[in-house]
């Protein structure tokens, strides 16, 4: 379905038309998940393709999306799970704990989505994350930087990390003190698992405050001491 049918329907009022409009838009959004490459879509379009245009719903597991035309028919796109202990990101004034009146803001995850595309021996995943930043009693900062980690993990008795990457997004706060945020991890690439191994794969997501700490600069190697020249041989 293209844009023109949707625009034409919007121009005709009426209760039955409004039902048709909702159905048409839902089908247009749902069917556009693989309609255009990510590079050709705006951030809003990419979120509509992943989330169906909705926001601020409770986070939940997402069903496996339809297989793209040029993908493997039996490719399994792992479910998204929020890592235990990483579902919230709370920040306090320096030197204080992020509780009670010392809390500056807190970010939470409200919704997740994903899709996968196989090219040769690799899978490229898009993992979408929506959430909300809420100001605390200690103040409403003008901007908040949100650090997220997305990982592909092979579950089991001993979990194995297949790929992991950090993503950041900056949220501009307003006078309401409650602002939604969104992030799409579009370049997570990992080797396609063999056979049924992919059934145990999981996309783990969560806040990673350590990602905001600059990595320490590597220490310069110690300089070698110049060795004294050997004494001349006796004459």
To the nearest whole percent, how much of the chain has pLDDT over 70? 60
Write the secondary structure of 76-131 as one string of H (helix), E (strand) and C (coil): CCCCEEECCCCCEEEEECCCCCCCHHHEEEEEEEEEEEEEEEEECCEEEEEEEEEE
For residues 123 and 36, the model is more confident at: 123
Does any domain span residue 97? yes
Question: What whole-number distance in Å separates Cα of residue 235 and Cα of residue 229?
Answer: 17
The model carries a pTM of 0.64
Contact yes or no for 46/127 (Cβ under 8 A): no
Q: Identify the DSSP state of 136.
A: B
Average pLDDT, integer, range 36-54: 53
Is residue 31 scored above 50 in pLDDT?
A: no
Does any domain span residue 17? no
Is residue 71 scored above 80 in pLDDT?
A: no
Query: What three-state secondary structure class fits 82?
Result: strand
Q: Which of the four pLDDT bands, split at 50, 70 and 90, describes residue 104?
A: very high
Q: Which of the four pLDDT bands, split at 50, 70 and 90, describes residue 157?
A: confident
Domain range enclosing 64? 53-212
Is residue 25 scored above 50 in pLDDT?
A: no
Does any domain span residue 122? yes
Q: Which of the four pLDDT bands, split at 50, 70 and 90, describes residue 15?
A: very low
Quote the tokens at residue 118.
């196989």
- Residue-wise pLDDT for 172-183, tens only, equals 999 999 999 999
Minimum mean pLDDT range among 72-76, 152-156, 158-162, 167-171: 72-76
Nearest to 148 by CA among 88, 205, 78, 87: 205
Residue 211 has what pLDDT? 82
Does any domain span residue 223? no
For residues 62 and 219, the model is more confident at: 219
Average pLDDT, integer, range 140-145: 92
Average pLDDT, integer, range 72-85: 79
How many domains, the chain? 1
Average pLDDT, integer, range 52-77: 49
For the chain, the DSSP string reads --HHHHHHHHTS-SHHHHHHHHHHHHHHHHTTTTTS-GGGS-HHHHHHHHHTT--SPPP---PPPPPPTTS-TT--PPPEEEPTT-SEEEEESTTS-SSGGGEEEEEEEEEEEEEEEEETTEEEEEEEEEEEEEEBTTB--SEEEEEEEEEEEE-SSS-EEEEEEEEEEEEE--TTSEEEEEEEEEEEEEEPPPGGGGGGEEEEEEE-GGGGSPPPPPPPPPPPPPPPPPPPPP-
Average pLDDT, the chain: 74
Average pLDDT, integer, range 97-121: 93
Does any domain span residue 10? no
Q: Environment class of residue 19 by beta-carbon count within 10 Å: exposed (0-12), middle (13-18) or buried (19+)?
A: exposed
Does any domain span residue 30? no
């Amino acid at each position: 379905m293209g844009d023109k049918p949707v625009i034409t329907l919007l121009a005709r009022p009426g209760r039955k038309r409004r039902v048709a409009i909702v159905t048409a838009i839902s089908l247009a959004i749902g069917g556009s998940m693989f309609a255009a490459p990510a590079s050709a879509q705006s951030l809003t379009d990419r979120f509509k393709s992943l989330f169906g245009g909705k926001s601020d719903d409770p986070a939940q597991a997402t069903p496996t999306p339809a297989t793209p035309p040029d993908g493997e028919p039996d490719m399994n796109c792992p479910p998204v799970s929020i890592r235990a202990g990483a579902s919230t990101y709370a920040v306090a004034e320096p030197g204080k704990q992020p509780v009670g009146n010392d809390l500056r803001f807190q970010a939470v995850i409200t919704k997740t989505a994903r899709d996968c595309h196989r090219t040769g021996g690799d899978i490229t995943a898009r993992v979408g994350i929506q959430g909300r930043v809420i100001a605390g009693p200690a103040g409403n900062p003008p901007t908040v930087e949100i650090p997220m980690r997305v990982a592909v993990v092979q579950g089991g008795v001993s979990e194995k990390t297949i790929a992991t990457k950090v993503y950041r997004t900056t949220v501009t706060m307003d006078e309401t003190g409650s602002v939604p945020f969104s992030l799409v991890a579009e370049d997570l690439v990992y080797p396609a698992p063999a056979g049924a191994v992919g059934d145990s794969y999981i996309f783990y997501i969560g806040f990673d405050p350590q990602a905001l700490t600059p990595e320490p600069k590597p220490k310069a190697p110690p300089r070698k001491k110049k060795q004294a020249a050997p004494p001349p041989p006796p004459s």
